[in-house]
Structure 1
Amino acid sequence: PLGCPAGTALLPLSLSLCLLLAASFARDAAPESCNCSQPLDFEAFRAAPLAESCCLNFSSSNVSLLDWGALLGVRGLRELDLSRCGIAAIRNAQGVPVTLEVLHLSHNQLESLPGGFLEDAPNLRILYLDWNRLRELPQSFLKASRRLQEVYLGYNALTFLPSSLLQPSLQRLQVSNNSWDCSCALLSALQGRPDLATELTCHTPQRHRGAELLSIPRDELCRSHGLTALFICLPPLLLLATIACCFCKRKRKTNYSFGGRRPPVAAARRRGEGQRAGAPRIPPLRPLRAARCPLREGEEGAAGGGGAAPALPGPSGEQQGPVRGGGDPGGIPGAAP
């Protein structure tokens, strides 16, 4: 129009070019969207693996034993769906596709995970492990997942959470319908993240079954577990003390039998001496000897003839006369003729 500068007419065209360039740069910077709607067969993939793909959907495949190593060579893999595959075990579990962000392992038959599984998954953001039979998780589970945002662990048989899972970036933790042991250690692990424990319901101990973990006073929970540990340790200690006491008594009795008492022969001899000591003392018998008495004159011949026995001392010490051979007591003083 008349009176307008010549460059004014080019202004709308310049703005349009700028908008087109900005949209082009934004499209190049934005990540390529993945389409995981078309499921693949896992065995067919193992026979002809893909070198590069942003998404792999193996849901509902028949995979009882998952060969995790077959997935490590796929470049650019960001989402992996292995749900409803009947997976009961995982082998070759070391390593993770470095670009992996979303992993689906729900609705399987996993009872445990191999040690080191998902230990080094730096870009993992969302993990689905619900509807399995898991009883425990590895101690270093998700240790390097600094970008972790959501973890789904519901409908398992878990009793404890490893502290490595509770990343500062974690925003959603689904843990309902498990067998949680409401211990002082579990409460301490979740103490700084009460927003993550809203669905954690106690299964043990029995007196807290059905109660939410955060509704139990810390003093009661920690003290009760201390008393439980004491009651568990007390019976074995009492049993050991009883055994030690019996052993000491038996050893003392054995020492008395062999050290304080005399052997059977010596004891019998001692008893015999005691009996003799209590009885009246009887002097030992001495052999009788014939006393030699001087013969009277006139009797030497008779004695030499052997007709009479030698004279014996009387009861009072005096000598008796010789006894004649015929039994005549005439030679004994005091005897009747």
Structure 2
Amino acid sequence: MSKASAARKLAAAALYGGGGLSALGAGLYGVLTAEAKLARKTIGPARDEPPPDASGWYGRGRPGPAIKIALLGDSSAAGYGADRVEETPGALIASAIAEFADRRVYLKEFCVVGAKSSDLAAQVDRALPIEPDATVILIGGNDVTHTMRPSQSVRYLSEGVRRLISADAQVVVGTCPDLGTVQPIAPPLRQVARAWSRRLAAAQTIAVIGEGGRTVSLGDVLGPEFAAAPALLFGPDQFHPSVEGYRALAGVLVPSVLAALQRVPAEEIGLEAFRGEGVLPVTRAAIRAVNEPGTELDGTEIGGRRTGVRGLWVELRHRRSRKDVPGEAPESQENATAPVPTEGGPEAVG
């Protein structure tokens, strides 16, 4: 069997197989396993030291009360591979929110390198006590590499989003990136990774919208743009994003976090048809989002109803990018006299 033929069958199994890849023949499974071992060898062992923790206060001198943001997820949220805290997604997002909202920001990281969707419950447990105004979740890549069934991944994510929404937090989920562009992954595993990650991203979108959150597609942020400049946007292991890659990731998320916090200019509140924005059924919108860079989806109503004949109604948007804001190092307390926040919450937040 040729590699191309194997790729087609493996991708079909990832896209349509209810049981994942377990039903594949021994030959196809052997090809997949061999490619996975080669990819792991190329990527190399994980770093022993964790990424810098971006938890703390941002926006020195700006007014309060502080906007509280919880950051949940995996290594893409934690900023694996970054050497300086200013380079991590948490610092980049919090610095930008402080700049554009003109408010003090308190960000707390609960993300863990290597986390899967099944680990979200514990992260939500730790995040709820700080009573976040907004929660950003980046999860899914490890679900794909560990061949977790999308139905399982989505169930864990739905439960987490539901709990956060019930606690009055706005939730923004960056959906699973396109892993088919990761350089160490060779065909046919690359085609499987692409098909599986895109399927998961669409399923995540539908689930999150159903629970009242909003999503931002990351497939093209870590997809064609990364493939075109792997040396710039991928880190040394060619698997995790580089500093420039994390900056691109934050740049896509920040406008949607601002929107969730109702911190957008008046001229951007309405849908802009000339930018390809509009109202669509959620399934159709989810498929479009997988293939369009930085697409935001959020639930809406038509005639006072959230649901139409074809499912939930959603607003599909392509948020205007914001100017680049350099990441800053967080402060450990809100001001010179305030107590240092504990994991239970930022004590000085008004």
**Shorter chain as normaliser: what TM range?**
under 0.3
Larger Rg: 1
Normalising by the residue count of structure 2, what TM-score does the alignment of the two structures yield? Answer: 0.22
Q: Which protein is richer in strand relative to its size?
A: 2
Q: Which protein is richer in helix relative to its size?
A: 2
Higher RCO, 1 or 2 (CA under 8 Å, sep at least 6)? 2
